[in-house]
């Protein structure tokens, strides 16, 4: 876990020395950020969550959410107070059963001060009672809570939790979840994992969802609305749960014709990435007006617009690839976004080749040739793009090109061993771009420092010579033709317009 020296904390600790008994000396407030330089206030310091239990009630007509969050955590330093990231209105906080003081702070901090300070390395149970209308809340001037005509959806990256549950909001602190949501009869609540039970009483139905493998906060999703839920099992034995808003209009058929292939595509991806890491798979298509898709763990979020031109298996492949690359193996810092997006894009290339719509080689050559050396595309460093360019097209396309260059360098045997070995090596954990380089070096027996530097860290177009076969165009001299899959892969790029 991250820990960093936080100056105000040090000062607070000094004043504590004067105010309270010597036994509490050294107790300091937990940092308001986990230490990610891209997002200094995301996540928090001083503790590590193992489980979130969210017991919620939601009224679609008024967007009122009320609930109790019970958080199981362990302290990682002596704490006089700790922060959660949250925007709704808190009415009570308990720490190990005792009422605690609390106050909102900064853009999205909830500062909790327990009656007695917490010693490093001890388990702690936090209970937060809250309510609020999420659509009225914002931080840094924006909101990612998506209202729909019949409900709402929490799905966004890197932030979506603040609007519906208090958390340590950073992928470094993954935890398991029980999400229990009561909604009026006839409305459904969709979340991650498996539906353990539904209970109806006095006009309300409570949906009890469980996600039993470590899950990042931004991959935890909630959708409330009128959904048609389908269930099944893939040929390879993975249970599948999908949900479609009753309000998809003309996109309904194409949405189903894409997302109903989840089981088939999970099995196909398992051939490259190894066994599917979770106990269920699936996706949901709510009636939002957004354009993006998101790899929410076990239950992918798709915008209806993704299906406006007909079925779109490419986006399904992209989001399912993230279940291994991004969800089971999460990034350590947001600068490591390439280990998510480069590989999810490369999976789309593999699918294109499988479908006979252009090989990975052809797609790589096309990307390379499409961007002249003076194109700003090459100034983005996929290995550390900066917060403003975190989801730039280059992270995806140059990112996938880097993966093709790695394949060219180490050969197919080592390459596919890396592709399958990585999700096993870091299953349910966190890893960085540098960890990936080290792993690929170990498997291939080659030094890859120069290759990674050229493709991921230089703000310029790699020379055709370095581009190895990645410029078959150096051989043909003619610009490569646009692969048949290009338009459909490009159509999955909606997020870059953000
Ligand atoms: N991770 C998403 C994908 O490519 C894309 C994404 C980036 C996104 N930023 C986002 C989605 C913000 C929603 C909101 O699959
Ligand atoms: Zn992605």
- pLDDT number for residue 447: 98
Atom of ligand 1 nearest to the CA of 340: 1
Sorted by sequence, the CB contacts under 8 Å of residue 477 that are 6+ apart come out as none
Residue 89 lies in a domain: no
Question: Ligand 1 pocket: which residues have CB below 6 Å?
Answer: 156-157, 292-295, 318-319, 341, 391, 495
Q: Per the structure, how many domains does the chain have?
A: 1
Q: Per-residue pLDDT tens for 232-263?
A: 999 999 999 999 999 999 999 999 999 999 99
Q: Is pLDDT at 497 greater than 50 in this prediction? A: no
For CA atoms 158, 348, 411, 369, the dihedral sign is negative
CA angle 259, 263, 269 (to 5 degrees): 105
**Shortest CA distance to 462 belongs to which of 391, 394, 411, 363?**
394
Whether a cis peptide bond, with omega within 30° of 0, leads into 186 is no
- Measured in Å, residue 411 CA sits from the centre of ligand 2 at 25
Question: Which residues neighbour ligand 2 (ion) by CB within 5 Å?
Answer: 341, 344
Q: How far is it, in rounded angstroms, from Cα 330 to Cα 43?
A: 15
Protein residue with its CA nearest to atom 3 in ligand 1: 294
For residue 356, what is the domain's CATH number? 1.10.390.10
Residue 373 lies in a domain: yes
Q: How many residues are recorded in the chain?
A: 498
Q: Which of 294, 323, 334 to mutate to test the pocket of ligand 1 (most atoms within 8 A of CB)?
A: 294
Residue 473 lies in a domain: yes
Whether residue 213 contacts residue 299, with contact meaning beta carbons closer than 8 Å, is answered with no
Q: Is pLDDT at 10 greater than 60 in this prediction? A: no
Which residues does residue 30 pair with via DSSP β-bridges, in sequence order? none
- Measured in Å, residue 339 CA sits from the centre of ligand 1 at 14
- Measured in Å, residue 340 CA sits from the centre of ligand 2 at 6
- Measured in Å, residue 156 CA sits from the centre of ligand 1 at 7
Give the other-Cβ count within 10 Å of 365's Cβ: 27
Atom of ligand 1 nearest to the CA of 293: 15
* Mean pLDDT in residue range 439-456: 98
Protein residue with its CA nearest to atom 12 in ligand 1: 157
Residue 429 lies in a domain: yes
| 337 phi, psi to nearest 5 deg | -55, -25
- pLDDT number for residue 477: 58
Nearest ligand to residue 283 Cα: 1
- Measured in Å, residue 225 CA sits from the centre of ligand 1 at 22
Residue 271 lies in a domain: no
**Shortest CA distance to 336 belongs to which of 237, 406, 429?**
429
**Shortest CA distance to 288 belongs to which of 303, 309, 306, 307?**
303
| 447 phi, psi to nearest 5 deg | -80, 130
Q: Which of 223, 286, 293 to mutate to test the pocket of ligand 1 (most atoms within 8 A of CB)?
A: 293
Residue 25 lies in a domain: no
What is the arrangement of strands in the sheet containing 79-85, beginning at the earlier edge strand? Answer: 28-29, 79-85, 109-113, 101-105
Confidence category of residue 464, pLDDT binned at 50, 70, 90? confident
Protein residue with its CA nearest to atom 11 in ligand 1: 294
Q: How far is it, in rounded angstroms, from Cα 464 to Cα 473?
A: 9
Confidence category of residue 495, pLDDT binned at 50, 70, 90? low
- pLDDT number for residue 471: 52
Q: Per-residue pLDDT tens for 210-234?
A: 999 999 999 999 999 999 999 999 9
- Measured in Å, residue 380 CA sits from the centre of ligand 2 at 17
What is the arrangement of strands in the sheet containing 293-294, beginning at the earlier edge strand? Answer: 227-233, 239-245, 283-285, 300-302, 293-294
Q: Per-residue pLDDT tens for 43-99?
A: 999 999 999 999 999 999 999 999 999 999 999 999 999 999 999 999 999 999 999
**Domain of 485, in residue numbers:** 331-490
Q: Per-residue pLDDT tens for 297-346?
A: 999 999 999 999 999 999 999 999 999 999 999 999 999 999 999 999 99
Phi-psi region of 491 (alpha: psi -120 to 50; beta: other; left: phi over 0): alpha
- pLDDT number for residue 498: 40
Residue 211 lies in a domain: no
Strands 188-190 and 222-225: antiparallel
Strands 330-331 and 293-294: unpaired
Nearest ligand to residue 347 Cα: 2
- Measured in Å, residue 67 CA sits from the centre of ligand 2 at 31
- Measured in Å, residue 203 CA sits from the centre of ligand 1 at 36
Structure-block tokens of residue 84: 């959660």
Residue 395 lies in a domain: yes
Structure-block tokens of residue 420: 């399958």
């Amino acid at each position: 876990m991250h820990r960093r020296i936080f100056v105000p904390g040090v000062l607070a600790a000094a004043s504590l020395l004067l105010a309270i008994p010597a036994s509490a000396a050294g107790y300091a407030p937990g940092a308001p950020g986990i230490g990610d330089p891209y997002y200094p206030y995301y996540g928090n310091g001083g503790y590590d969550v193992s489980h979130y239990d969210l017991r919620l009630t939601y009224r679609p007509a008024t967007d009122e959410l009320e609930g109790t969050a019970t958080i199981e955590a362990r302290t990682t330093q002596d704490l006089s107070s700790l922060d959660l990231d949250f925007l709704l209105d808190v009415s009570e906080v308990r720490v190990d059963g005792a009422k605690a003081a609390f106050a909102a702070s900064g853009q999205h901090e909830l500062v909790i001060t327990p009656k007695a300070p917490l010693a490093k390395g001890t388990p702690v149970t936090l209970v937060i009672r809250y309510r609020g209308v999420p659509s009225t809340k914002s931080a840094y001037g924006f909101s990612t809570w998506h209202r729909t005509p019949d409900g709402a959806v929490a799905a966004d990256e890197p932030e979506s939790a603040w609007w519906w549950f208090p958390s340590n909001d950073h992928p470094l602190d993954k935890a398991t979840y029980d999400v229990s949501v009561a909604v009026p009869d006839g409305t459904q609540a969709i979340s991650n994992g498996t539906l353990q039970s539904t209970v109806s009483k006095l006009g309300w139905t409570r949906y009890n969802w469980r996600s039993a493998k470590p899950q990042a906060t931004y991959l935890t999703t909630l959708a409330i609305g009128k959904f048609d839920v389908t269930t099944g099992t893939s040929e390879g034995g993975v249970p599948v749960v999908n949900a479609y808003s009753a309000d998809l209009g003309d996109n309904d058929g194409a949405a189903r014709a894409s997302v109903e292939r989840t089981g088939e595509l999970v099995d196909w991806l398992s051939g490259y990435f190894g066994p599917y890491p979770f106990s269920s798979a699936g996706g949901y298509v709510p009636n939002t007006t957004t354009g993006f898709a998101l790899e929410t763990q076990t239950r992918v979020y798709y915008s209806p617009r993704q299906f406006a031109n007909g079925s779109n298996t490419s986006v399904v492949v992209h989001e399912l690839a993230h279940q291994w690359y991004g969800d089971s193996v999460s990034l350590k810092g947001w600068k490591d976004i390439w280990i998510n997006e480069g590989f999810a894009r490369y999976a789309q290339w593999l699918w294109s080749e499988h479908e006979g719509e252009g090989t990975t080689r052809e797609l790589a050559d096309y990307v390379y040739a499409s961007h002249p050396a003076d194109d700003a595309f090459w100034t983005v460093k996929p290995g550390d793009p900066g917060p403003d360019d975190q989801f730039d097209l280059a992270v995806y396309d140059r990112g996938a090109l880097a993966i093709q260059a790695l394949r060219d360098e180490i050969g197919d045997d080592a390459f596919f061993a890396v592709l399958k070995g990585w999700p096993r090596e870091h299953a349910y954990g966190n890893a960085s771009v540098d960890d990936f380089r080290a792993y690929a070096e170990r498997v291939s027996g080659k030094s890859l420092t120069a290759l990674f530097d050229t493709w991921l860290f230089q703000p310029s177009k790699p020379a055709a010579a370095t581009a190895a076969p990645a410029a078959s165009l150096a051989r043909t001299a003619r610009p490569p033709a646009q692969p048949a899959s290009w338009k459909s892969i490009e159509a999955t790029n909606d997020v870059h317009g953000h």
